[in-house]
Amino acid sequence: MNISLKQQALIDEQNIKLWNNRFGDSIAVSKKALTVLKKAEKINYEKGASYARLNIAAGNFLQSKNEIAAEYLSYAFLWFENNKTEPGYVRSLLLKGNIFESFGEYEKTLQLWLEAYNITQDILDREAEGEACSQLGLIYSRLYNFKKSLEFFEKGHKIREELGDENGAASILNRIGMVLRQIKKYDESLKYYLKSLEIRIKNKQLSAIPWTLLGIASTYEEQEKYKEALSYFEQGSKGGDKRCMLQCIMGSGRILSITGHPVKAKKRLEESLKIAMELRAMSLVADAYSALANHYEKINDPANALTYHKLYYKTRESIQSDESQNKLRNIEIAHAVEKSEQEKEIYRLRNIELKAAYDIIEENNKEITASINYASRIQKAILPAPEEIEGLDDNYFILFKPKDIVSGDFYWFNSIADKLFVVAGDCTGHGVPGALMSMLGISFLEEIVNYRKITESGRILDELRKEVQNALRQKGSKQEAKDGMDISLCVIDRSKKMLQYSGAYNNLYLIRNDELIEFPADRMPIAVFDMTSESFKTNNIEIRKNDILYMLSDGYADQFGGPNNKKYKYATLKSFLLSIHKLPMPKQQQKLDEEFLSWKGTKNQTDDVVIVGMKIK
């Protein structure tokens, strides 16, 4: 072997060693890989230089230096794209996906990782397949598809154990712990985290240990074991990359706020927000805003609490829009179709007639989707902005989850003098028909209250029923559709401390002194009905400070899910409301959202959901 070939072999050996050690000491890997790069460039060894750049990119990514990682990865990718049989090509796809995932670009991430996974199946690269399984498990957890997430993680863990890759196995154990924590299996979660921690300490994985500490701390925090949580958060904040460090600092801030250390809590939370903004990690920026809002709420600083709540919701909407979720699923479907094209039956899809028909359908779908998206913007504009209603302040929450792009559920607020009007409505159907009905409902309520000056709750519903019947030309014949809406309406007289409630099928729930009181609605809808001549009842209720009101549609209770795929049911919902009613209102919304997603799991959403919660001050 001549000198040049010996040098190339040495460079290859060093690159392999650095790649295998990337989880151990990412800073050292980055520095050593730079030395290897210079050696490879000196002898014009392109393969060696490309692998060295890949190692530099991986090391910097693990330190959250994403711009440097992206720069070196782009140069490496130029060579690997022309040498796709090299293991480095799949590794580049996976690492590129990691970078996009850290910025919240989930659609690009899933596209890259599915491509990588398909390639590993073809080239029989078990090491790369294990890594692809780990990454796909991660992205499916982001989509709340926990079953599929655990399937990929377990497959990846099995591969890494077969290969004797302890460090890679520790990484997947950590992620399994994360998913088990998300589905509230805390004891199982801690077992996986502690097993991961044991391996990482034994192998001195300095960059990875803090991630496991973060997972353990988060699990203890959800169990409300604050002493243990704070200990692990503090340990995790002293090392690791910036993303991990900021989450540990943020966790410490949350715990310090809860346990009555406001000055230290504020300092930690502001520090975590600063780091998140520097990293452009928008999901973590949103988490920091939420933590600061809850902190200011706890120390009775409503102005700052409201400011940070608004920032939180604005940021969260930008990264969790329905459009992004749909894109993710479309990419997954596209890859599944691409793989199935290898089967013989797909050949028939290649003929010109079907292709032309597909193009027409696709174009029509684009136009229809664009129209519905535009309708969604109109609906959102018509729905009132509660923060603009005088007297509401931050003593409320609205959980609003359309089943489709537009919703048949709606909410409405209004304020006249000392009276506050609050409505939660559920129209017949969902999607476009339900949305049209909801817009009618809001328009009629505006007319009845603002212009006709009708302020008694029962009379408002009587008038609303007449308007709906007239608009839909309902005469009461057996053949006509019984379209309409169910509704709960409250008129709160803040000066007299009295509440008027009227309902069409939708009950009102009031929690006072740790007891839930249910006020039944009239068993007739806002539509044509056998008892249309009967008026809606006005319930007069004395209200007290710290009373909490809940108004809701049936979408939450009717959601199918859980281990036996059954409805959530009202009894379960009422128990859950009692368990969270002492939390700040925005925190209650968060808990309701998490409970809904956990119950739903991988099932489709059954119906639109709206819950309005309000605390009397």
Q: Give the whole-angstrom CA distance, residue 452 versus residue 445.
A: 10
What digits encode the pLDDT tens for the residues 494-504?
889 999 999 99
pLDDT higher than 60, residue 326: no
Residue 88 lies in a domain: no
Residue 347 lies in a domain: no
**pLDDT classification of 335: cutoffs 50, 70, 90:** very low
Same structural domain, 454 and 573: yes
pLDDT higher than 90, residue 421: yes
Report the CATH number at residue 443.
Answer: 3.60.40.10
Average pLDDT for 82-111: 83
Residue 139 lies in a domain: yes
Residue 369 lies in a domain: yes
Q: Are 163 and 130 in contact (CB under 8 A)?
A: yes
What digits encode the pLDDT tens for the residues 461-489?
999 998 888 877 766 555 555 678 899 99
Residue 30, token pair as written in the block? 């980055």
Same structural domain, 479 and 442: yes
Q: How many folded domains does the chain comprise? A: 5
Q: How open is the CA angle 262-265-269, to the nearest 5 degrees?
A: 140
Q: Give the whole-angstrom CA distance, residue 29 versus residue 36.
A: 10
pLDDT higher than 60, residue 420: yes
Closest CA to 56 of 94, 86, 95, 84: 95
Same structural domain, 406 and 554: yes
Same structural domain, 499 and 450: yes
Same structural domain, 431 and 489: yes
Same structural domain, 452 and 433: yes
Same structural domain, 27 and 55: yes
3-class SS shares of the chain: helix, strand, coil, % to 5: 65, 10, 25
What digits encode the pLDDT tens for the residues 339-382?
443 443 344 444 444 455 555 556 655 655 555 565 556 666 67
Same structural domain, 424 and 481: yes
Same structural domain, 405 and 546: yes
Residue 166 lies in a domain: yes
Single residue among 213, 240, 267 that ends a domain in this structure: 213
Cα separations in angstroms, 599 against 145, 408, 566, 610: 12, 22, 10, 16
Same structural domain, 302 and 415: no
User: Positive or negative CA dihedral for 599, 602, 606, 612?
Assistant: positive
What digits encode the pLDDT tens for the residues 160-177?
999 898 988 898 999 999
Model confidence, pTM:
0.44
**pLDDT classification of 194: cutoffs 50, 70, 90:** very high
Residue 374 lies in a domain: yes
Residue 126 lies in a domain: yes
Q: Give the whole-angstrom CA distance, residue 186 versus residue 183.
A: 8
Same structural domain, 208 and 239: no
Residue 5 lies in a domain: no
Which structural domain range is residue 206 located in? Answer: 107-213
Same structural domain, 395 and 472: yes
Average pLDDT for 212-235: 94
Report the CATH number at residue 298.
Answer: 1.25.40.10
